[in-house]
Amino acid sequence: MATVTFDKATRIYPGSTKPAVDALDIEIADGEFLVLVGPSGCGKSTSLRMLAGLEDVNGGAIRIGDRDVTHLPPKDRDIAMVFQNYALYPHMTVADNMGFALKIAGVNKAEIRKKVEEAAKILDLTEYLDRKPKALSGGQRQRVAMGRAIVREPQVFLMDEPLSNLDAKLRVSTRTQIASLQRRLGITTVYVTHDQVEALTMGDRVAVLKDGLLQQVDTPRNMYDKPANLFVAGFIGSPAMNLVEVPVADGGVKFGNSVVPVERDALSSTSDKNVTVGVRPEHFDVAGADSDQGVAVVVNVVEELGSDAFVYGTAQIGGEAKDLVVRVGGRDVPEKGSTLHVVPRPGETHVFSTSTGARLSD
């Protein structure tokens, strides 16, 4: 097993002046599951391909353990990659697909069979070893691709959106399998996804990228509770955090007809007259129908999820119409077209500088 270090690693594609990955600096611990997440074009797959040796590194360095692998060919890096499209050989059986890398490496047949059977047992593939990939479902093919990586016993697993071709229910069960499998094997894993729910549920730590720049790397809980800037706040969480520009008031910020208390230090560190307040949908309290507290939200759409519901509505804040999402109990769902009065829960608000986007609150 090994640590992985991105030491200001930079990739600039030929013909471009702007780096696709700009001075990426991350240390991944031995046995850690790190998820790289961000919107399309943010540099997450490029970062993974740099680590795999499939993209040149134009600046900085990449290390696996104590070895500088920046300019080593992929075959010398002791990594195994799981791709989005499975990349299985259609004319080979499952067993031959899983053992192919070992066969190329000159491992004897008995040893290959033993390792393949062990991996198949872990992945519930034993009964499919003699089948061809076309006779398998998408989820089974993905498990074969995982098995092929496992039998090699690499120092690092690299996974590039391995679940994106699966249907929603299968994605949930397969992501649980991958996460528990990684914990059991203890192999350092770098996993790329654009799905932030996947990132939060699978990773020991999550790294958020935007335009090739690392925005924040932290545990899922810290990233949810303390996003470092406006981009991370709006990206992490489903539905997304409500972000509203509001005026600074005495003792807090003015949110509609209420002043929401905010730590004094948060506001003293900025000269902005207005700040951006972030409130997650579950952190609004619904006031009584006759209350004039907080903000009046006109209900446009209600998404009922059984145990709870999300209200998508419009509120007038600072003379502008703002879209807000509020979570309410599943037994207490408002009618479309009705009005809710909502107040952000004290202590659950996030304050950001409107001008720089940086987090101001602790």
Beta strands 33-37 and 188-193: pairing type? Answer: parallel
> Over the stretch 225-248, which tens digit does the pLDDT of each residue have?
999 999 999 999 889 999 998 888
* pLDDT band at residue 289 using 50, 70 and 90 as cut-offs: low
Stretch 1-27: mean pLDDT = 93
**Can you give the residue range of the structural domain that contains 296?**
239-353
Judgement on whether residues 221 and 244 belong to the same structural domain of the protein? no
pLDDT at 272 > cutoff 80: no
Distance between CA atoms of residues 361 and 338, nearest Å: 33
Judgement on whether residues 94 and 166 belong to the same structural domain of the protein? yes
Judgement on whether residues 146 and 87 belong to the same structural domain of the protein? yes
Judgement on whether residues 33 and 8 belong to the same structural domain of the protein? yes
Helix (H) or strand (E) holding 189: strand 188-193
Tokens coding 217: 């790397």
Q: Please report, for the domain that includes residue 90, its CATH number.
A: 3.40.50.300
Q: Please report, for the domain that includes residue 244, its CATH number.
A: 2.40.50.140
Distance between CA atoms of residues 224 and 232, nearest Å: 9
Judgement on whether residues 41 and 187 belong to the same structural domain of the protein? yes
> Over the stretch 147-174, which tens digit does the pLDDT of each residue have?
999 898 899 999 999 888 888 888 888 8
> Which of 202, 231, 260 is the endpoint of a domain?
231
pLDDT at 190 > cutoff 90: yes
Judgement on whether residues 247 and 338 belong to the same structural domain of the protein? yes
Distant-in-sequence, close-in-space partners of 345: CB < 8 Å, separation ≥ 6:
279, 283, 284, 285
pLDDT at 55 > cutoff 90: yes
Number of domains in the chain: 2
